Structure 1
Amino acid sequence: MKANHAETPESSNAADKLKWLIAIVLLAAAVVGNSFYGETVSVVIRSAGVIVLIAAALGIAAITVKGKEAVSFAREARMEIRKVIWPTRQETVQTTLIVLAVCVVMALALWGIDGIMVRLVAFATGV
């Protein structure tokens, strides 16, 4: 991943703070508006309004310095995911069955050890 630690000018920092404030206000408007108009406006219209407000907040947040870094990180992560060699269905089933078998064996072993320890404690205490 790329590391960019360049100092930002103070005006950019103030602009970013304003953008974050606007994004937070939009998100708050989505939450408050959805609850305030819960009884009077249909679900479809409220859902559309919430989606629009969230999209606007994300769009504004994406043009901040941290937002641009997050978008860049997401793009790089997506490229890395494309490089992953995913297991085949057969490999996944075999691995799952091995894990289940080991879990059953360990459960039986722990059950047996527990039973032996209960009998030893009962024998030692005379119960």
Structure 2
Amino acid sequence: MADKIKFVLALLLLVAGIAGFYLLSDQAMILRVLAVLVGLGASIVVAWQTVPGRQFFDFAKESVNEAKKVVWPTRKETLQMTGLVFAFAVVMATFLWMADKGIEWVLYDLILQWRKV
């Protein structure tokens, strides 16, 4: 029950930060943004004090570690794959255009013109 109360408090702090942004509409933009950031920071601190909050932050940390293990393609590999995708798109567009014109020729020139004769 305490965790639920803390989550509600965290949500209220976030809402208060957003509300502060609109309530301070006559102030400088830096103060308005600061109100949102303070509300966000306070809500994160409160949410972190709960068991599900800690589990979420641990999961986020593990996700970042897993993302660091990913082998990203080099620039050369990226450009080669992009070129391959563009070439395939051009070939497929040409094929579909030819198929469309072929069907148009069969339907219009052969069948419809034949009926007029």
* TM-score bucket (shorter structure): 0.7 to 0.9
Q: How many residues align?
A: 113
Counterpart AA for 1:31: I
TM-score of the superposition, structure 1-length normalised?
0.80
Q: Percent identity?
A: 35
The equivalences for 1:60-79 within 5 A come to 60-79=46-65
- CA displacement, residues 53-98 of structure 1 (integer Å, 9 cap, x when unaligned): 1111122112222211111111111111121111111111111111
Structure-2 residue corresponding to 1:120: 106
Structure-1 residue corresponding to 2:8: 21
Counterpart AA for 1:71: F
In the alignment, the residues of structure 2 paired with residue 23 and residue 49 of structure 1 have an alpha-carbon distance, to the nearest angstrom, of 15
User: Shift of the alpha carbon at 1:125?
Assistant: 3.4
Instruction: Structure 2: give runs of 5+ residues left out of the alignment.
Output: none
Counterpart AA for 2:107: V
- Rg larger in 1 or in 2? 2
Q: 1:59 aligns with which of 38, 45, 56?
A: 45
Larger proportion of helix: 2
TM-score of the superposition, structure 2-length normalised?
0.87
Structure-2 residue corresponding to 1:5: none
Instruction: Structure 1: give runs of 5+ residues left out of the alignment.
Output: 1-13
Residue 85 (str. 1) matches residue 71 (str. 2): yes
In the alignment, the residues of structure 2 paired with residue 119 and residue 62 of structure 1 have an alpha-carbon distance, to the nearest angstrom, of 68
